Amino acid sequence: MEYEYDVIVVGGGSMGVAAAYYLAKANQRVAVIDRETVPNEKGSHHGQTRMLRFGYSEGQSYVPLVKCAYELWRELEQESKRTLYIQSGALLMGREGSNFIDEVLHSSTTHDLPHEVLTSEEIMTRWPEIKLTKEYMGVLDTLAGFLLSEECVRAYKELAQKHGAVFFENELVLDVDAKNDEVSVTSATHNFRAKKLIVTAGAWTHELLPQINMPIEPIRKTFAWFKPKRENLYNDLQFPCVVFDTSFGLYYGFPDYKGAGFKLGRHDGGQLTTPDQLNRTFGAYEEDEAELRLLLDAYLSQASGELIRGGVCIYDQSPDEDFIVDWHPDHPHIMFAGGFSGHGFKFASVIGKLLSQMALEQPLLHPIDLFKLSRFR
């Protein structure tokens, strides 16, 4: 059976489902095709929470995009009538004069963001649960917090469906065939045709569009929830999200939300993999838990209780860790987004909006020059 749409979105993760919503809301006939269910635990959006911070260590050029994403998340909350964002604040810590701290301060001051600069002593006085050495300092991003990631994807999906989008789940795409004025997509069970195609398939994107030579490395990443040694010690009513830039790695943590435990992950490191061969068992590598315990023992010893559970996800890492959002160089009716390198979820709302505008040939609410594929050539 063949289906015909205005726009096909291949990849129903955070970026794809957001794009589908904005397109369906614009009265486009939209199909979303995903190899799993939407949401799922095979991509990059599972794990309960994702941090949203404004003082951006990855570069001040991201700050206007964060602000736009934040406004769109708030709009989604209102329309979906769901709680999607918890404004807990985010405490970003590192050695004074480090590139990490300097970039956070640069982002915060350049864009006049509300923030507090704290010494290690001031941090430990306010949050005795944190132990730091004197050379550390911190920047408290007071607007920051965390998104409930699976709830965000679910909200976009339900609203997209309300506006007429159709979701084909557990549907493996076998082939994408671009013609001059349309695109054919073949799955294991169906054929699809559309005027426009958006590919947001994470670590699978370069397999679906091999001709554009998308420089993405899939990396296996782990995170885990730990039981604090004292009840209510790290809950979201009094404890912020945290980022630690240490000599042995860059770590991120979330307060204990609704009794799930203190969540911790390491942003750098990980194992190179392929998406279809990814070992999804937490603990398959000795370092899965050990490298997280290393951070807890050094700086958050009261959070280093029993392991509640661990999870595995996949980064689609670009060479410069900046995003890749562009039109196909030979077929401008195909758009793609990837290379989100472990810091993309907070931007899903605005990236989805941008992709919809690209497909509709509308003016973009934010320039994408920084993200174009041509920078690698």
The answer to whether 267 is a known catalytic residue is: yes
Helices (H) and strands (E) in the chain, counts: 8, 20
Q: Among residues 267, 328, 333, 353, which one is catalytic? A: 267
As beta bridge partners, residue 175 has 186
For the question of residue 220 being annotated catalytic, the response is no
Which residue among the candidates 313, 331, 343, 353 is catalytic per the annotation?
A: 313
Catalytic annotation, pick one of 35, 45, 115, 346: 346
Q: Which of 42, 45, 49, 343 is catalytic?
A: 49
Q: From residue 290, how far is each of 93, 186, 197, 224 by CA, in Å?
A: 21, 43, 43, 11
Catalytic, 195? Answer no
Q: Which residue has the tokens 């679910």?
A: 154
Which tokens go with 298?
């050094």
Chain mean position to CA 338: 11
Indicate which residue of 46, 67, 126, 195 is catalytic: 46
- Beta strands in 208-266, from DSSP E residues, in sequence order: 217-226, 241-246, 249-254, 262-266
Strand partners, 194: 5, 183
Rounded Cα distance, 186 and 2, in Å: 9
The three-state DSSP-derived secondary structure of 130-146 is: CCCCCCEEEEEECCCEE
Q: Is 50 a residue of the active site?
A: yes
H/E stretch holding 67: helix 63-80
Q: Active site residue: 35, 50, 220, 331, which one? A: 50
Beta-ladder partners of 310: 224
Nearest-10 crossing angle of helices 348-360, 14-25: 50
Q: Which of 42, 45, 263, 353 is catalytic?
A: 263
Give the Cα separation of 313 and 111 in Å (integer): 32
Distance separating alpha carbons of residues 326 and 33, to the nearest angstrom: 20
Cα angle 185, 187, 193 (rounded to 5 degrees) comes to 25
Active-site residue numbers?
Answer: 46, 49-50, 263, 267, 313, 346
